[in-house]
Structure 1
Amino acid sequence: MRAMLAIACSSAWNRRFVVGLVALSVALATFLVLTLERVRADVRETFAQSVSGTDLVVGPRTGRLELLLHSVFRIGGASATLQWRSAEAIASHKAVAWWIPLSLGDSHRGFPVLATNTAYFEHFRHGRREPLRFAEGRAFGKGLEAVLGADVAQALGYRLGDRVTLSHGDGSFDAADHGDQPFTVTGILRRTGTPADRTVHVALESTEALHKEFAGGVKLPGLALHVEQPATINAMLVGLKDRSAVFSVQRDVADFRKEPLMAILPGVVLDELWTVVGGTERVLQVMTGFVALASLAGLVAVVLAGLEQRRRELAILRAVGAGPRHMLQLLCAEGVVIMVAGVVLGVLAHWAVVGLLSHWVRVHYGVVLTLAAPGANELLLLAAILGCGLLASLVPGWRAYRLSLADGLSPKV
């Protein structure tokens, strides 16, 4: 068998240009299969670990997904708000242990700004109920102070004591700016792999005071900055004393009479989200499967095309003692060599792309792509590609098996 592999490698090298193109197509299929699986798994993991330990997310009665995406993942915009008095009423429920107000809508150089209070740093959990930790500094006070996520600080080069200014909306050119009221950076959070890394955190009272300076998007001159409680917020995170009371509190929120509110369970809504995007995942997987099939078809076509030009070569091997079984082994070995080379190239390309783009993807999309050895699913996919390649190489191998010695030595013109 070792001799067959040596002959197969030599033959492939002699036809290296064409064989290289087939190997590249196999590498592309492998790269797409592995990258799609890695992105799919890491997106789920990132979303699942973005919030933990929070029993309910309470907000205005809009869409469940809209509330979760806006309040937890900073995606989209809020179509409604809830009154501060209503939030305090929900917080006074006998089953509520803690709550965190969330107010969004401002930005800083493309990064979202979250206005909240110090309960956020005390009670918010991510991953496996891990708390937020500071890499440098401390939490903000009630003045114009800000705490930066790790990606914000790294991308913009901020350090403790630097000044940041907020803009209304997404920070577009025509958005109003608070350039004369900068916030001082008092803390930088450790990286969490969650949307907190891409967020500027400020005190809720400070942003409320800033917004009092504007009316209809136009800054009003002569107003002094003073701290006060907000009139409205976008949502609130709620932790319960006993998790068994979650459905009871959810019903009480739904029956709240002062304004229409809703309470969602983050884990349940995340499952709904994956149900929605599950069809897209399957479409991408099917498209990747077609790419893999096209690569295998190219492998079969190249080996079969080369077989007609190698009939004399194969006949000479038969003349020196190689039997039909050896011809089958030779063609199969060539197919396996090409498949292994393509798979190895695809794996290396996958690692290279994930390693180079992981930081950019995390900063811009909040998805943490992990550079790791192939897991169980990836190994199964690689084994499937290699297995299909072996089966595909049986087609030209069977053709070579049926070629007679006389047919090879006296080819038809």
Structure 2
Amino acid sequence: MTGFLLGLAWRSAWNRRFTLVLTVCSIALSTFMLIGVERIRTDLRDSFTSAVSGTDLIVGARTGSIQLLLYAVFHIGAATNDIRWSSVQALGQQRGVAWVVPLSLGDSHRGFPVLGTSAGYFEHLRYGDQQSLRLEQGSVFADLFDAVIGAEVADRLGYRLGQRITLAHGSGDLHLSDHADKPFRITGILARTGTPVDRTVHISLEAMQALHVDWFAGAPIPGGHIDPDRVRSMNLQPKAVTAALVGLKNRAAVFSVQRQVNQFAAEPLMSILPGVALDELWDVIGTGEQALLLMSALVAAVSMAALVSVVLAGLNERRRELAVLRAVGASPHHVLLLLALEGSMVTISGITVGIVAMVGALVAAGPWLQSAYGLTLHAAQPTNLQWALLAGLLLAGSLAGLLPGWRAYRLALADGLAPRI
């Protein structure tokens, strides 16, 4: 009997296909938004986490943990203070420390941050699933004024190996002055990572120092210009850096090393665990996530209301159809089941279309999102929350057919067969 009702529900829905197609599209849109928002939320968090893979501690001047994470890893904002180079050297000699990668920020190039660092940055930094940085083209720092750029910098600005660029003093769009007297040559282009590395211009610590040998207090010294050839013969050991990434010999010693850094006597330092700082960051932006999810749920509720409205609106046109079914022996239970099956079929169709559309959008727009925003989206296995959202949509669609079914049950047989005048 259920198979017969299923076929009957399909034929009945097909007769009203133009109206139901709109409802299917509405449910597909709600599915697209619900699953899409959850996928973006999940992959965005993975992108944040992947940027600091393999780093045990981040060390900087005392400030908020989120602020330290943002400017050291994501190059957003500015440090409250630098840390002395002698402190970085002492940090590398701490028991349990395997490597230290210094980071020096403050300059930029056409809106992209410039990062002064050591060769260990390319050796020790990991992203994603413990993946190493890889050069797509060229090599790392063969000369003092060499630069290695991220994939997004190369794509957006159309740069190639051997091209000369000029860096600017100041971060972001705040260019206080250009270092036009000391141009850099692009010697390397990194493979895309989907992390802030893609949006960064990398130079050596010595090069960062060379840019500012004739500067004082953030401004060039009047009449104190030093040409690049003379700079090469100078002592370019940095006096201070912005932050440092730390890797340990044994991760079990992370809290011990963190305590040593936080109690450092030479100057006030702080160290943070990247994972803990990321959790704090997500606590801050969690409200925005919930707002997006709530908006998608409202779209889904509107779609379910549209489904109920369409079935109810067509109920008067189907009164004779339902009355005939009652007359040939269909029980109220069968009528209720018929309309519930119809609602389920429409909902399943909408969910299927929505999932296919979302996967297609991820495949089509994925490369663009990665190049434009550094966001890597995956058409992966649905998460537990996504399965729950899909189940909720299906349940809501099935229940949406119960109200029209209850209404049909209340229709009298004589009223359905009686001709209208």
* TM-score normalised by length of structure 1: 0.90
SS of corresponding position for 1:136: strand
Partner of 2:345: 337
Count of aligned positions? 413
Q: Deviations over 1:73-130 (max 9, x none)?
A: 2222223211222222222223322100001222223322211010111221223332
Q: CA deviation at 1:61?
A: 0.2
Partner of 1:184: 185
Within-5 A mapping of 1:267-306? 267-306=275-314
Q: Is the 8 A contact 1:148 1:185 kept in 2?
A: yes
Q: Is the 8 A contact 1:355 1:371 kept in 2?
A: yes
Q: CA deviation at 1:307?
A: 0.7
Which letter does structure 2 place at the counterpart of 1:117? Answer: S
Within-5 A mapping of 1:250-399? 250-320=258-328, 322-399=330-407
Q: Is the 8 A contact 1:107 1:171 kept in 2?
A: yes
Is residue 136 of structure 2 the alignment partner of residue 155 of structure 1?
no
Partner of 2:248: 240
Q: Deviations over 1:240-288 (max 9, x none)?
A: 2333332232222222233211011112222222333334333433332
Q: CA deviation at 1:321?
A: 5.2
SS of corresponding position for 1:185: strand
Q: CA deviation at 1:5?
A: 4.2
Distance in 1, Cα, partners of 2:79 & 2:371: 22
Q: Is the 8 A contact 1:142 1:203 kept in 2?
A: no
Distance in 1, Cα, partners of 2:55 & 2:40: 26
Tell which deviates more after alignment, 197-206 or 348-357: 348-357
Distance in 1, Cα, partners of 2:343 & 2:123: 59
Give % identity: 52
Which letter does structure 2 place at the counterpart of 1:370? Answer: H
Q: Is the 8 A contact 2:181 2:227 kept in 1?
A: no
SS of corresponding position for 1:52: coil
SS of corresponding position for 1:310: helix
Find the partner of 2:226 among 219, 223, 227: 223
Change (3 A) 1:375 1:329: same
Q: Is the 8 A contact 1:204 1:230 kept in 2?
A: yes
Which letter does structure 1 place at the counterpart of 2:341? Answer: A
Which letter does structure 2 place at the counterpart of 1:261? Answer: L
Change (3 A) 1:411 1:399: farther
* TM-score normalised by length of structure 2: 0.88
Which letter does structure 2 place at the counterpart of 1:380? Answer: A
Partner of 2:66: 65
Q: Is the 8 A contact 2:182 2:227 kept in 1?
A: no
Distance in 1, Cα, partners of 2:163 & 2:318: 72
Q: CA deviation at 1:382?
A: 1.6
Q: Is the 8 A contact 1:311 1:411 kept in 2?
A: no
SS of corresponding position for 2:188: strand
Distance in 2, Cα, partners of 1:230 & 1:326: 82
Partner of 1:166: 167
Q: Is the 8 A contact 1:141 1:203 kept in 2?
A: no
Which letter does structure 1 place at the counterpart of 2:227? Answer: A
Question: CA-atom RMSD, angstroms?
Answer: 2.6
Which letter does structure 2 place at the counterpart of 1:254? Answer: N
Partner of 2:99: 98
Tell which deviates more after alignment, 31-40 or 147-156: 147-156
Which letter does structure 1 place at the counterpart of 2:237? Answer: Q
Distance in 2, Cα, partners of 1:142 & 1:96: 29
Q: Deviations over 1:308-336 (max 9, x none)?
A: 23212322344455443442233223212
Change (3 A) 1:379 1:246: closer
Q: CA deviation at 1:14?
A: 4.2
Q: Which ranges in structure 2 are unaligned for 5 or more consecutive residues?
A: none
Q: Which ranges in structure 1 are unaligned for 5 or more consecutive residues?
A: none
Tell which deviates more after alignment, 192-201 or 4-13: 4-13
Q: CA deviation at 1:343?
A: 1.3
Q: Is the 8 A contact 1:152 1:200 kept in 2?
A: yes
